[in-house]
Structure 1
């Protein structure tokens, strides 16, 4: 086998599809457009680019890199493919080695000279473990390490922690074989928690460092992926558990929207949500603070709550508040599955870690919800990686966090710190809260959402949720039991007339005088309330409820309030006289203007609150005297249309990279072309007239020319073209590489030369 004699020539000999594959894996090589293959090769060998390209390599690829590096470091000739397979025999199959070499070549981290495999120099620096660790089969296993660390003295543990944090190698005289056996280093060497390199150098084995840092433990000597332990559940069970979590998620999000609508939360100076406010929201929604933190992050990401100044303005003195947006009203009215999709999709694309809320920062202050400190650039990628590991398993198959972490760490060992147990466990916990994961397995909705098909995800959730019921069970103790999710209309009516006492698969509501008065305030009549329970209760309506409805309705509305600033009227003069004689009349500055009418300068809302606090039961009315619903709708914040979205660079498309490679080939051809006649010996033109004459000549005789051109961005390029027409300040020429006719402005052409 023969091949190129340099890295640049090897790159130039790659096919166009192979170069496109290279730029897809290493997009940094394409910006800005390399002028020649030599420029591309120089960029591909740069250390920073090589380290970036190695981030996605798996343990097999790094095992190949390490084997090649150790072999050449000893002064040997580069290995052949056959020699490499022989060296890795027992660690990886021949087909696995071939696949690893293909991946490394596609990333231009290795190249071939004849039949020898040459390694890009900086590739050895990308190894996620010290060179030589992967070739050492005698490494302590995780159980042995854990047992040895359990009873380790403080001095020895501190030494290991320091090496795990700063670097695996350390220098000490105690590394010599004759050092006192009771000193920390010899003791650690005896327990195999350290490895001797020479008489003054010790090294922390990779597995020991992984355990100390809380990372997934994988053996660099093993070049086959770890086999996870899986548990299988029925698909219906997994989807059912996920559907139950969806119901709880929507109920709690609705409660948070209602809490923030009634009392917007003041924003911190840094823009987040304070610990006290988060605690208040959690208490009002009857959930724990960790769950409340996750849900407010989801609502903010879905633009259902926003930071700003709400309308109506709160009484609290603050510059900005967190409150619902107008979009929350439409969201609240949507079917459950449609309400779930924006929340789940927002979490999947959230470049933040909500589970970090409450952790301590560098200044030992707790991290607050909705602050910038929660942003993690790689959060979206790692979150998807965890779920995609589950998606690779058959439906209904669950894996534990430890198995997922080990598998992902094996696939990307340079990023193993991102797959610590804490990260994977919290990602799975949040996915379970959203109903994407049930029993540790991915639900059908989770698979559809991960495949970027929201409509299929919505359909899967809709199919998994139990069918809504159109009946309730009214108990003698004035409780109403909903044996499942109610239909939208019945849910709205029951929520209006009763208060939730306990929620779950079967929700229990409590009927009371105040809840019935709330329904009457909204415009319902006593007859409508009787009809509601008679039509929808599967149990007989208790007589106590009938009496309570009639009693509340008889007293409700005898006193009427309206706008004067506000007024109070009653068909019963004695009742109005009682109001005017009570202390609340002085508080509201009530003044009687007729036996049945009194007016006040207090706002209508305040009038209602004070009269009810004094034991009266006023009802609101409009100009025609009809009862109207005067309940507060809650504050809302208008979403800022020009709010800057977080910037996420878009990778170039396959078509764009194909065009880029075509341009690179054209530049390479122009750089290698030989000129027979030039305008000047240095390639620059003497005058516009001379360049124009040469171009016109080339167009007449159909000769190709080499031109230098400065584009509108000021970038100097070279091209070999065949002039077709010259005129109107432009050169129209056929590009032999692309086969298309291109236009060049004559005043931007810096050199012209005929080709032999």
Structure 2
């Protein structure tokens, strides 16, 4: 008689049970009361599916061979599995696959008697190995070789076509046709009037030495290429600095003109294109950055009747940080993003286009798959890249064929492309900051700092009113240049362009002409061009001669003629200016509106506070309160060795309570066997269980049916019909009448 799974588990040592729970964490939640509960959970269909998703190509082939050999109904030998797999599968590969199945309690028993859980039938294809069902007729008898020797060429062609798989075909053939003759001899079986099936024994006989076809024993070669660790890190650092500027541009755009939230949620196509143009990237990259910015809570949908995508107050905190800190937030958010930006622009199952930030791009398992791709890159030496993303996709597919679904290979390409945009990946190799992101989150900032070139404290001023920064600037110089110039192009070297508007912006912020001249002279490695000196002096000469304050607002100037000029200007009527002194005029308009109107009229006023100090009234853009949600998807922590040891000890104690001793069976069988016996014999059982909230309970039931992971029965106390999931049962006992 075959050994039940529960009895096999009881004979295993504590380390084996601890490893089982580590490989299948769902078996330990809630902690099983004894090994009977553990065995019951290990056979549940959903749990078996989940753990088989982690198996590689060879292990799945072995599992399929076990299904072909009907190991779920009676134990089979290792020799039979080896015969089905063929001579090309080495013994050590078979041993490794069987060990992996036993470690997960999907298979159990010694090599002479290997069994598998019944749920394996739901994991393997409908026709395992491309073979049909067994036949009890002539095809399953010793006469099969003689029957096959007697088929003609047409009949053999039909048999070989079905033997290659799938084993079923549509045919109404009868009488003297090839199909009819094969049906008459029992080499084909009629399923229905239009469908025939090739018996398993015939398929195995026709396939010869490779009953289950060719098994890819060795992982595919990814043809690694050495890109150079320093080159990869330098390229990644440049991408990281570039993405920071792109995000800053996006937040500035949304601060000025927040785009509306679509009625169906998400961001409109036109607004995505506008964001792409502002950031100077393609739409796919814009979709990625938009998704990351919102997930990082740097922007959110505002409240109100017409919500808009608006930067949050967290934006100002983020902008104040150093490049390493700002980049780490974007990178960590992307890694944990439960969405696939690569889906933006495609159509969903209903044929509707998927917009950025819409529910159509949501994929809860995206962080797991993203980590899996980066982990594959991390296995290569620093600076080494796979031959192509497709080669990496082939390797990951071999390692876990069941994972990823229909988008599996595309997710690999998207991850590499998105990682390249962010600087996590460069030249298809994982960068130093990328490795820290994956394995050492606390060291991300230090890793990027090490990859970035040393900040420079100077620029190269040129005669065309531009300045070239030959590398990342020290924070103080970067802030001053962002104030008095516009970025014309970014990359390894950043080009800044000085204009009248940018110089006036610096003066509006409180800088004087002397401050600007001193800054340029001190920070330029080349002589200050005369044209730039003239530009600063010319703007400064006209700037600030007119001063505005709040009266709602006022204007003042030491030059009475200038005040008179303003009062005489045609636009002064709209400003509602009233002169209250030779050098002072007041207006009921807000100060910002007054100064904007005067600038439009050709004047260069400056704002001041009550003490006469110049105020910076630059528009920072709109801000809303952050959503205060976590960007990271919370994953239940893996139990540590101490927790696993306690869990196993608790199961051993539970076994002792019910009279079970390690290495022996008490004759009660598994929970499933007990329930099925009670249902068949109309017996009553006492169940201890844990509900969905983790609260322990008990119930006395008369089981009516057992299946699908649930026992359904009538409560002896209230007569009601109740359903209890098998994996939540912690203890069971037959009730003596």
Same fold (TM over 0.5): yes
Q: How far 1:115 sits from its partner (Å)? A: 2.8
Deviations 1:177-200, CA, capped at 9 Å, x for gaps: 9999xxxxxxxxxxxxxxx99994
> Are 2:288 and 2:341, in contact at CA under 8 Å, matched by a contact in 1?
yes
Deviations 1:599-620, CA, capped at 9 Å, x for gaps: 1111111111111111111110
**What does residue 117 of structure 1 align with?**
114
Deviations 1:300-323, CA, capped at 9 Å, x for gaps: 2222223335xxxxxxx8543323
How many residues are paired up? 616
Correspondence list, 1:179-194, <5 A: none
Compared CA separation, residues 69 and 90, structure 1 to 2 (3 A): same
Correspondence list, 1:523-602, <5 A: 523-602=510-589
Compared CA separation, residues 497 and 38, structure 1 to 2 (3 A): closer
Q: How far 1:432 sits from its partner (Å)? A: 0.7
**What does residue 715 of structure 1 align with?**
697
SS in 2 for 1:415: coil
- In structure 1, distance between residues paired with 2:455 and 2:632: 38
Correspondence 1:522 to 2:542: no
Correspondence list, 1:19-418, <5 A: 19-72=17-70, 78-85=75-82, 87-88=84-85, 90-112=87-109, 115-127=112-124, 130-133=127-130, 171-173=169-171, 200=195, 221-308=215-302, 319-399=306-386, 400-415=388-403, 417=405
SS in 2 for 1:337: helix
Q: How far 1:253 sits from its partner (Å)? A: 1.4
SS in 1 for 2:580: strand
Match among 406, 413, 423 for residue 411 of structure 2: 423
Correspondence 1:621 to 2:603: no
Correspondence list, 1:602-751, <5 A: 602-641=589-628, 648-672=635-659, 713-716=695-698
506-515 vs 364-373, which moves further:
364-373
Compared CA separation, residues 609 and 663, structure 1 to 2 (3 A): same
- TM-score normalized with structure 1 length: 0.74
Deviations 1:241-284, CA, capped at 9 Å, x for gaps: 11111111111112222222333333334443332332232222
**What does residue 433 of structure 1 align with?**
421
Q: How far 1:440 sits from its partner (Å)? A: 0.9
- In structure 1, distance between residues paired with 2:408 and 2:77: 37
> Are 2:607 and 2:616, in contact at CA under 8 Å, matched by a contact in 1?
yes
- In structure 2, distance between residues paired with 1:613 and 1:281: 28
SS in 2 for 1:474: strand
> Are 1:308 and 1:321, in contact at CA under 8 Å, matched by a contact in 2?
yes
**What does residue 15 of structure 1 align with?**
13
**What does residue 508 of structure 1 align with?**
495
- TM-score normalized with structure 2 length: 0.76
- In structure 2, distance between residues paired with 1:604 and 1:132: 80
- In structure 2, distance between residues paired with 1:9 and 1:624: 88
**What does residue 735 of structure 1 align with?**
none
SS in 2 for 1:320: coil
Compared CA separation, residues 557 and 250, structure 1 to 2 (3 A): same
- In structure 2, distance between residues paired with 1:359 and 1:631: 40
**What does residue 206 of structure 2 align with?**
none
> Are 2:369 and 2:404, in contact at CA under 8 Å, matched by a contact in 1?
no
Q: How far 1:633 sits from its partner (Å)? A: 2.6
- In structure 1, distance between residues paired with 2:404 and 2:314: 40
Q: How far 1:584 sits from its partner (Å)? A: 2.0
Compared CA separation, residues 551 and 134, structure 1 to 2 (3 A): farther
Deviations 1:197-247, CA, capped at 9 Å, x for gaps: 9994599xxxxxxxxxxxxxx996223222222222211111121111111
- In structure 2, distance between residues paired with 1:91 and 1:710: 48
12-21 vs 641-650, which moves further:
641-650
Match among 432, 435, 444 for residue 444 of structure 1: 432
Q: How far 1:379 sits from its partner (Å)? A: 0.4
Correspondence list, 1:470-509, <5 A: 470-509=457-496
SS in 2 for 1:592: strand
> Are 2:106 and 2:116, in contact at CA under 8 Å, matched by a contact in 1?
yes
**RMSD (Å), alpha carbons:** 3.6
Compared CA separation, residues 97 and 472, structure 1 to 2 (3 A): same
> Are 2:333 and 2:632, in contact at CA under 8 Å, matched by a contact in 1?
no
Q: How far 1:622 sits from its partner (Å)? A: 1.0
Compared CA separation, residues 91 and 458, structure 1 to 2 (3 A): farther
SS in 2 for 1:634: coil
Q: How far 1:82 sits from its partner (Å)? A: 4.5
Compared CA separation, residues 649 and 247, structure 1 to 2 (3 A): same
Compared CA separation, residues 220 and 560, structure 1 to 2 (3 A): farther
Structure 2 gaps, min length 5: 133-164, 179-189, 199-211, 662-686, 700-732
